[in-house]
Amino acid sequence: MAASSSQERVAAITGGAGGIGEACVARLRRDGWQVVVLDRDMDLARQVADRHGAIAHEIDLADTASIDAAAAWVEREVGPCSALAAVAAHLENPHMPERQDEAEWDAILRVNLTGTFRTLTAFGAGMLERGAGSIVTVGSITAFNSSPLQAYGPTKAAIINMSRNFAVAWGRRGIRVNCVCPGPTRTPAVEASYARGERNPDTMIRQTALGRLVKPEQVANAIAFLLSDEAGAITGIELPVDSGTLATQLWSLYGGVPDPRT
Ligand SMILES: NC(=O)c1ccc[n+]([C@@H]2O[C@H](COP(=O)([O-])OP(=O)(O)OC[C@H]3O[C@@H](n4cnc5c(N)ncnc54)[C@H](O)[C@@H]3O)[C@@H](O)[C@H]2O)c1
């Protein structure tokens, strides 16, 4: 159980056991939130919760009953949930569309699209009753342009659209909804993917304006800001946190991002 007082406001983080999720847990605990780490991987979720004085609980975004049960558990056992970071996602490796595995397609849509939608409705229910809350979804820069992430990219584009829908539907009922869109972020899972040769950090760094990839805590900083009262006038936006990767795209037509050494 968390070493925190009942005065603290409650934040729930799906995918809280992952790289960006743990960074959110750490940041929101420092900001004084009571944090619930929700994940399918309970071993990791417990470790993250122990490291940061949070509470771990199981959720499976592929299962609506599990999402509903987790939301009800948080409200009943921890307290009124006033912030939700919907971070959990099924990731994907690059491939050509004709090589798309159908089962993986279904799993990605189930978790990222349907699961995120159900997470917002389940955790939003209590916020609607109380007329207050803030939600941040997690998209990706793959939402904005073509990429070889054939199922993942479309689900992230849909999450942006979904977040705007919720922002307008629930805005006058006291709930803000925004979407943070990370670029390549050096989480343990992505580092492992580099090590396996599935992704190349050097080609990714070359596409950034800043000449470096994103750190998980930099994504968490944006999420924490949008969840906080300081972002009280912000809803229905998508915020790239990508070291300027989206900004560089047309520079490739002119020889790429300038190298300060040349
Ligand atoms: N790391 C990046 O480069 C990057 C870039 C763009 C967007 N993102 C997004 O950031 C978010 C976090 O990614 P990450 O890099 O920390 O990945 P990660 O794999 O470290 O974390 C994802 C977490 O989600 C959990 N999860 C997966 N399926 C689940 C399910 N069905 N139910 C419950 N939990 C489930 C996993 O157990 C894991 O803890 C994701 O939404 C991802 O799409 C990441």
Domain spans in the chain, listed from the N-terminal domain onward: 10-245
On the 0-12 / 13-18 / 19+ scale of CB atoms within 10 A, 172 is exposed
Instruction: Give the pLDDT mean for 126-149.
Output: 98
254 is catalytic: no
- What is the reported pLDDT for 259? 87
Q: Which tens digits make up the pLDDT trace of 116-126?
A: 999 999 999 99
Nearest to 187 by CA among 64, 89, 61: 89
Instruction: Give the pLDDT mean for 50-57.
Output: 98
The CATH number that domain 10-245 falls under is 3.40.50.720
- Give distance in angstroms: CA of 18 to centre of ligand 1: 6
- Give distance in angstroms: CA of 157 to centre of ligand 1: 16
Kindly report the protein residue whose alpha carbon is nearest to atom 7 of ligand 1: 140
- What is the reported pLDDT for 1? 43
pLDDT exceeds cutoff 90 at 260: no
Q: Which tens digits make up the pLDDT trace of 181-237?
A: 999 999 999 999 899 988 899 999 999 999 999 999 999 999 999 999 999 999 999
* Mean model confidence pLDDT for the chain: 96
Question: Strands, DSSP E only, in the chain?
Answer: 10-14, 34-39, 55-58, 81-86, 133-138, 175-182, 238-241
Nearest to 6 by CA among 56, 70, 77: 77
Q: Which tens digits make up the pLDDT trace of 235-254?
A: 999 999 999 999 999 999 99
- What is the reported pLDDT for 199? 85
- What is the reported pLDDT for 186? 96
